[in-house]
């Protein structure tokens, strides 16, 4: 006989006794329904059996759902006890942290994965969550495999407790390291742009002032015996002016006008020249590792030389007790796992590696910011510009610069320069020879002090000079000279004239009078595109203020060549 429990129409439970048909019993008695009291022991037992089976099914389904979620979710999920021990984690968390479950279950999350400087703050945050204050969109740094720092965006809440179990925490995290890197790159670019706007205006005015000082020094020095004390003093003053010019040139690097004037260059030959600029200290040894088959690159040699000089100086300062600096280069084909800011293609990777004290982790995120430094402030150290200049120069060359550093082990800076196509890799050679020219010069500049001292320098070099304060006056004097049959062989035009026509437009008007006129563009904006790419704008040479008498002579020779 089999018993089945069914619900009757009245809502009461009944037992249905099912018997196989028996020929000795009346057919009407087979399958007879018997009413069972609702609270009978037999009914309660069967209820318990049914509920237990349902609970087991629910538990199995819950375990399967839990396992599926933790294995497939892309989120970093951690379940912690009230004392921050890990009791469960998702596969994504294992991948990020670089550990499997067996290595971290039961261990303290704070001790294992939170940098020491943040551990106290992290424990306070956990206590706040246990008190019912949920954590929403909080960014923290997490120490993962190989001591790499990742930035995680956390959302966490308290788990409900039971009588025998205290509250726990479930935390959901998202790795936003790359997003933060991109945000920092944008912020860094905006800071450099702001510095550039400021630098461009200051440098022009500052260079005009230095030009007048330097010109007078050069003129007075030319008439003195080099052995005289006054001449020695003037040489020192001249050197100070040149250092001031170097400072403005550094600032100009950040401005829109700081575009590199690039030529195709054999990087192997270029790096071999850098031997002469390596540290001369007896306690510092420099080693070069340069293959012969490096790709050619299109660079501004002066700017890339600046990059090397800054990196070499930093490497030397990182090893006050001496050590080894390694300079190396190699061809690099970027296809996947690209350094930040690089596109796919061919590059040359140059590296400068020291074995010094390394860069402290708390400084690493800001080392490319202008005016940020961990060194003492001073003229030689701590300007906070060197690495920012390197960053700006390499970015303007279409490359990127990266670094790796470990405390006590040293630092390596690497920068990537785009290689030129193989069919374009013809290295430019040769420069105009220096020659002396004694002819008529038209000089246009809106600064009277600069105009006067430059005129005196030109006269000292043997030229006949006429002066103009703006473009309109220069056009008039040029036309009069052409009509009188006494044309100017060369014109020197200031790029920027306050309230008047500048050098570029003035040259266009002069060429309408005489298409063959030779012209030099002069500017305090040392890296303005017209100055940097003067030949593309119709000029024959460029000269940046302030300048020495030798630099003036060279510009005249190049223009007249």
Q: What is the pLDDT of residues 137-196, one digit of tens each?
A: 999 999 887 778 889 999 999 988 765 666 789 999 999 988 887 787 777 767 766 666
Percent of the chain scored above 70 by pLDDT? 75
pLDDT at 99: 84
Q: Write the DSSP string, 72-126.
A: H--SEEEEE-TT-BEEEE-HHHHHHHT--HHHHTTSBHHHHHS-GGGHHHHHHHH
Distance between CA atoms of residues 182 and 192, nearest Å: 15
| Domain 263-424 in this protein, CATH class | alpha beta
Label the pairing between strands 410-418 and 440-444. unpaired
Q: At CA 24, angle to CA 20 and CA 27, rounded to 5?
A: 60
Structure tokens at 375: 């060194």
Numbered ranges of CATH 3.30.565.10 in the chain = 263-424
The answer to whether 142 and 113 are in contact (CB under 8 A) is yes
- 322-354 residue pLDDT tens: 889 999 999 988 776 677 778 888 999 999 999
Label the pairing between strands 296-299 and 345-353. unpaired
pLDDT band at 262 (very low <50, low <70, confident <90, very high): confident
- Average pLDDT of the chain, as a whole number: 79
Distance between CA atoms of residues 537 and 377, nearest Å: 41
pLDDT at 376: 58
Can you name the CATH fold of 183-252?
A: Helix Hairpins (1.10.287)
Distance between CA atoms of residues 400 and 347, nearest Å: 10
Q: 3-state class of 449 per DSSP? A: helix
Between 434 and 334, the more confident residue is: 334
Distance between CA atoms of residues 450 and 495, nearest Å: 13
The answer to whether 529 and 538 are in contact (CB under 8 A) is no
Encode 35-59 in three state secondary structure. ECCCCCHHHHHHHHHHHHHHHHHHH
Kindly compute the dihedral angle of the four CA atoms of residues 142, 143, 148, 152, in this order, to the nearest 10 degrees.
Answer: -10
Between 202 and 498, the more confident residue is: 498
pLDDT at 5: 46
Is the model's pLDDT at 249 over the cut of 80? Answer: no
Structure tokens at 25: 């019993």
The answer to whether 387 and 402 are in contact (CB under 8 A) is no
pLDDT at 157: 92
Contacts with 341 (C-beta within 8 Å, 6 or more apart), sequence order: 185, 395, 399, 400
Distance between CA atoms of residues 96 and 109, nearest Å: 14
Is the model's pLDDT at 433 over the cut of 50? Answer: no
Between 147 and 402, the more confident residue is: 402
Q: Write the DSSP string, 12-33.
A: -EEEEEE----TTS-GGGTT-E
Distance between CA atoms of residues 535 and 469, nearest Å: 24
Distance between CA atoms of residues 104 and 123, nearest Å: 18
Label the pairing between strands 440-444 and 518-523. unpaired
pLDDT at 36: 45
The answer to whether 97 and 105 are in contact (CB under 8 A) is no
pLDDT at 479: 93
When pLDDT is averaged across residues 389-408 and rounded to a whole number, the result is: 87
Within 10 Å of residue 253's Cβ, how many Cβ atoms? 27
Numbered ranges of CATH 3.40.50.2300 in the chain = 440-560
Contacts with 260 (C-beta within 8 Å, 6 or more apart), sequence order: 299, 300, 303, 393, 396, 397, 532
The answer to whether 185 and 520 are in contact (CB under 8 A) is no
Numbered ranges of CATH 3.30.450.20 in the chain = 73-175
Superfamily, domain 440-560? Response regulator (3.40.50.2300)
Q: What is the pTM of this model?
A: 0.51
- 441-450 residue pLDDT tens: 999 998 888 8
pLDDT at 7: 44
The answer to whether 543 and 238 are in contact (CB under 8 A) is no
Is the model's pLDDT at 512 over the cut of 90? Answer: yes
- 26-68 residue pLDDT tens: 444 444 444 445 555 555 545 555 555 555 555 556 666 667 7
Percent of the chain scored above 90 by pLDDT? 22
Structure tokens at 490: 């060369």
Of the candidate ranges 64-68, 305-309, 361-365, 416-420, the one whose mean pLDDT is the lowest: 64-68
* CA dihedral over 479, 481, 485, 488, signed as positive or negative: negative
Strand order in the sheet with 149-159: 86-89, 76-80, 168-175, 149-159, 135-143
How far is the CA of 357 from the CAs of 139, 184, 316, 388, 397, in angstroms? Answer: 29, 25, 11, 21, 30
Contacts with 110 (C-beta within 8 Å, 6 or more apart), sequence order: 84, 119, 122, 123, 126
Between 390 and 205, the more confident residue is: 390
Between 443 and 270, the more confident residue is: 443
Of the candidate ranges 424-438, 462-476, 483-497, the one whose mean pLDDT is the lowest: 424-438
Distance between CA atoms of residues 373 and 360, nearest Å: 12
Question: For the chain, what is the radius of gyration of the CA atoms?
Answer: 40
Between 380 and 482, the more confident residue is: 482
CA 168 to chain CA centroid, nearest Å? 41
Can you name the CATH fold of 73-175?
A: Beta-Lactamase (3.30.450)
Distance between CA atoms of residues 198 and 370, nearest Å: 13
Distance between CA atoms of residues 32 and 19, nearest Å: 9
pLDDT band at 429 (very low <50, low <70, confident <90, very high): very low
């Amino acid at each position: 006989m089999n018993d089945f429990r069914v619900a009757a129409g009245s809502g009461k439970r009944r037992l249905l006794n099912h018997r196989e048909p028996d020929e000795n019993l009346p057919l009407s008695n087979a399958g007879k329904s018997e009413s069972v009291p609702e609270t009978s022991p037999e009914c309660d037992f069967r209820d318990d059996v049914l509920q237990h089976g349902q609970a087991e099914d629910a538990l199995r389904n819950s375990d399967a759902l839990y396992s599926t979620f933790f294995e497939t979710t892309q989120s970093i999920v951690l379940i912690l006890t009230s004392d921050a021990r890990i009791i469960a984690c998702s596969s994504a968390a294992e991948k990020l942290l670089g550990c499997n479950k067996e290595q971290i279950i039961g261990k303290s999350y704070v001790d294992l994965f939170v940098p020491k400087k943040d551990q106290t703050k992290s424990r306070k945050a956990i206590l706040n969550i246990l008190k019912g204050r949920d954590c929403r969109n909080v960014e923290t740094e997490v120490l993962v495999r190989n001591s790499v720092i990742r930035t995680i965006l956390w959302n966490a809440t308290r788990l409900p407790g039971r009588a025998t179990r205290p509250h726990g925490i479930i935390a959901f995290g998202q790795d936003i390291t790359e997003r933060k890197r991109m945000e920092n790159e944008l912020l860094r670019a905006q800071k450099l742009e702001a510095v550039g706007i400021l630098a461009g205006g200051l440098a022009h005015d500052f260079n005009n002032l230095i030009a007048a000082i330097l010109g007078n020094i050069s003129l007075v020095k030319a008439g003195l015996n080099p052995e005289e004390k006054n001449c020695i003093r003037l040489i020192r003053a001249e050197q100070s002016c040149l250092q001031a010019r170097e400072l403005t040139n550094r600032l100009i690097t950040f401005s829109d006008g700081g575009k590199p004037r690039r030529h195709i260059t054999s990087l192997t030959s270029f790096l071999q020249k850098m031997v002469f600029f390596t540290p001369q200290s007896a306690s510092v040894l420099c080693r070069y590792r340069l293959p012969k088959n490096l790709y050619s690159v299109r660079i501004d040699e002066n700017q890339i030389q600046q990059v090397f000089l800054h990196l070499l100086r930093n490497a030397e300062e990182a090893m006050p007790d001496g050590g080894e600096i390694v300079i190396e280069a190699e061809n690099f084909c970027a296809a996947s796992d690209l350094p930040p800011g690089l596109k796919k293609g061919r590059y040359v990777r140059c590296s400068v590696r020291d074995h010094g004290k390394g860069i402290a982790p708390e400084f690493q995120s800001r080392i490319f910011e202008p005016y940020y430094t961990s060194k003492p402030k001073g003229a030689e150290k701590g300007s906070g510009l060197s690495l920012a200049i390197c960053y700006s120069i390499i970015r303007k060359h279409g490359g990127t610069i990266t670094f790796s550093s470990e405390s006590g082990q040293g630092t390596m800076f690497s920068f990537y320069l785009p290689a030129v196509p193989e069919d374009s890799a013809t290295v430019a050679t040769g420069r105009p020879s220096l020659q002396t020219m004694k002819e008529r010069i038209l000089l246009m500049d809106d600064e009277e002090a600069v105009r006067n001292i430059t005129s005196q320098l030109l006269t000292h070099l043997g030229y006949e000079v006429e002066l103009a304060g703006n473009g309109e006056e220069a056009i008039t004097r040029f036309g009069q000279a052409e009509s009188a049959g006494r044309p100017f062989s060369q014109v020197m035009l200031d790029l920027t004239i306050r309230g008047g026509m500048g050098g570029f437009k003035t040259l266009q008007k002069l060429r309408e009078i005489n298409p063959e006129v030779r012209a030099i563009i002069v500017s305090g904006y040392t890296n303005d595109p017209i100055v940097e790419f003067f030949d593309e704008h119709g000029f024959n040479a460029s000269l940046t203020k302030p300048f020495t008498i030798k630099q003036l002579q060279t510009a005249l020779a190049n223009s007249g060549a």
